[in-house]
Amino acid sequence: MTTLVQSQSRDASGTRAIFMALTFGLALIASVGFASAGAIHDAAHDVRHATGFPCH
């Protein structure tokens, strides 16, 4: 009986991508967490208008 063992190693670009995604996610959560509710609402409202979705 033969057992095949495969090792998986991440290259530097994969590790960097994960680190960048984690950093971006934490920054986004922190900025929204400390923003006022009105500012978050206005930002979401502006995005709806910029993408062409009616909201009124």
- Per residue in 12-53, pLDDT tens? 788 999 999 999 999 999 988 888 999 889 988 899 889 988
Residue 25 in any domain: the answer is: yes
Residue 6 in any domain: the answer is: no
Range of the domain at 47: 12-51
pTM: 0.50
Residue 4 in any domain: the answer is: no
| Number of domains, the chain | 1
Residue 43 in any domain: the answer is: yes
pLDDT at position 40 is 87
Return d(Cα 34, Cα 26) in angstroms, integer. 12
Residue 2 in any domain: the answer is: no
Q: Which residues contact 26 (CB under 8 A, 6 or more apart)?
A: none
